[in-house]
Amino acid sequence: MSEPSASPPAARPAVLVVSKLPAFYLEPLQQHFTVYERLHETDPAAFARVAPGIRAITGGGESKVAAALMDQLPALTMISIMGVGYDGVDVAAAMARGVPVTHTPDVLNDEVADLAIGLMLSLARRIPQADRYVRANAWAEKGPMPLARKMSGARLGIVGLGRIGKAVAVRAQAFGMSIAYTGRHQQEQLAFDYHPTPKALAAAVDFLVVITPGGAATRHLIDREVLAALGARGFLINVARGSVVDEEALVEALQQGVIAGAGLDVFENEPQVPAALRALDNVVLTPHMASATHETRQAMADLALNNLRAHFAGERLLSPVPECR
């Protein structure tokens, strides 16, 4: 009697990639799944042919996953985002179809908090300006730079005291800073001062760090009134989403001396940054790099991949977004 033939290997689930992924995520993704890289953008006809079999979507934190895209994917069962932010995903539409959404929180807390502190120090001590001063030989030609501001012992306000906000607070306490915060509700277990609105918080602090989620609910949360309350000696630091700050109002506030300066890692229309903002000397600008270290981006990629693998293995998801828990 002949040996029974072996069962054919199961087809690998098809995954649509909706943003440019680093090789350290894309390559292992291709080892475990059939991957279509931005086919919906590059070849609509080919995408239409494979769309009925696509079972998952993945991309970075900047990814746009609209209901209209999901509607083209009848077999869609999961969305995995490599980023803590997922405001580009229509989570309500996904939930209506029973499609879970995951992201990659916690693994980037330290890096984002580190950059927030770095921006604060850079603003107060004018470190980027000092670097340019030395490179231009102005120290030798003009003498010492004007005096800067002290950060240690200053008052810090945090808009959004979640995991990353708490990591910022821990670091700021090492600088002897007093901590206050605002958020959707007061966290009774914390000894920090609570203010019910961003405007009230801004009026009580020297540095205002924004680390709240993006999306419609927080769009332009930091507006002209908040900036006016922060005042002429106050600094704004945004490591959240560009949409949280009214960028036009911020430029005006910086130009007119309404606030002292700003440290920005995110912008409303990335990667486009207004020329008026780039021309200012009282700002420090970084290119959405808060989590951009080898170690952290690798951890984010691993978590995004493992969420996909857990889903298709029928296991519990590692890090679903709050709406899907």
Domain with residue 299: its CATH number is 3.40.50.720
97, 122: one domain: no
CB-count exposure of residue 121 (10 Å: 0-12, 13-18, 19+): middle
Q: What's the pTM?
A: 0.91
pLDDT at position 325: 85
Q: Are residues 92 and 113 in the same domain?
A: no
CA proximity to 226, closest of 239, 238, 241: 238
Q: What is the pLDDT of residue 10?
A: 56
Instruction: Determine contact, residues 85/241, Cβ cutoff 8 Å.
Output: yes
Residues 115 and 100 reside in one and the same domain: no
Summarize the confidence of residues 178-205 as an average pLDDT.
96
pLDDT per residue over 37-78, tens digit each?
Answer: 999 999 999 999 999 999 999 999 999 999 999 999 999 999
Average pLDDT over residues 79-108: 96
Are both 308 and 181 inside the same structural domain? no
In a domain, 34, yes or no: yes
Identify whether residues 48 and 126 lie together within a single domain.
no
Whose CA is closest to 126, among 150, 160, 95?
150
What DSSP string describes 71-87?
Answer: HT-TT--EEEEESS--T
Report yes or no on 3 lying in a domain: no
In the block, residue with structure tokens 């229309």: 269
- Could you tell me the pLDDT band of residue 3, with boundaries at 50, 70 and 90? very low
Residue 9 lies in a domain: no
Residues 74 and 127 in one domain: no
Residue 5 falls inside a structural domain: no
Q: Is the pLDDT of residue 236 over 70?
A: yes
Considering only CA atoms, which of 181, 296, 288 is closest in space to residue 239? 288
Q: Is 171 an annotated catalytic residue?
A: no
45 inside domain: yes
pLDDT for 209: 98
Q: Three-class SS of residue 58? A: strand
Taking the C-alpha atoms of residue 307 and residue 325, their distance in angstroms, rounded to an integer, is 14
Does 135 qualify as catalytic in the annotation?
A: no
Residue 71: inside a domain, yes or no? Answer: yes
In the predicted model, is pLDDT for residue 228 greater than 60? Answer: yes
pLDDT at 11: 83
Reading the block at residue 290, the tokens are 């808060």
Q: Which of 270, 295, 315, 323 is catalytic?
A: 270
Residue 6 lies in a domain: no
Angstrom distance (rounded) from CA 25 to CA 231: 44
Tell me: do 170 and 261 sit in the same domain: yes
Residue 92 and residue 166 in one domain: no
> Do 41 and 150 reside in the same domain of the chain?
no
Catalytic-residue membership of 195? no
Query: Of the ranges 1-15, 206-220, 266-280, 300-314, which one carries the lowest mean pLDDT score?
Result: 1-15
Alpha helices in the chain (DSSP H): 23-32, 39-42, 44-50, 67-71, 91-96, 109-125, 127-135, 138-142, 163-174, 198-202, 224-230, 247-255, 275-278, 294-312
Q: Average pLDDT over the chain, rounded to whole? A: 95
Does the residue 94 lie in any domain?
A: yes
Both 94 and 119 in one domain: the answer is no
Q: Which of 78, 64, 71, 52 is nearest to 19 (CA)?
A: 64
Q: If pLDDT is split at 50, 70 and 90, which confidence band does 250 have?
A: very high
The answer to whether 296 touches 107, Cβ cutoff 8 Å, is yes
Q: Annotated catalytic residue: which of 126, 171, 195, 241?
A: 241
Greater confidence, 6 or 284?
284
Whether 311 and 267 share a structural domain: no
Number of domains in the chain: 2
Task: Give residue 251's domain range.
Answer: 109-285
With pLDDT > 90 as the criterion, what percentage of the chain qualifies?
96
Mark whether 85 and 225 lie in a shared domain. no
Do 108 and 291 form a contact (C-beta atoms < 8 A)? Answer: yes
Confidence check: pLDDT of 91 > 80: yes
pLDDT at 122: 98
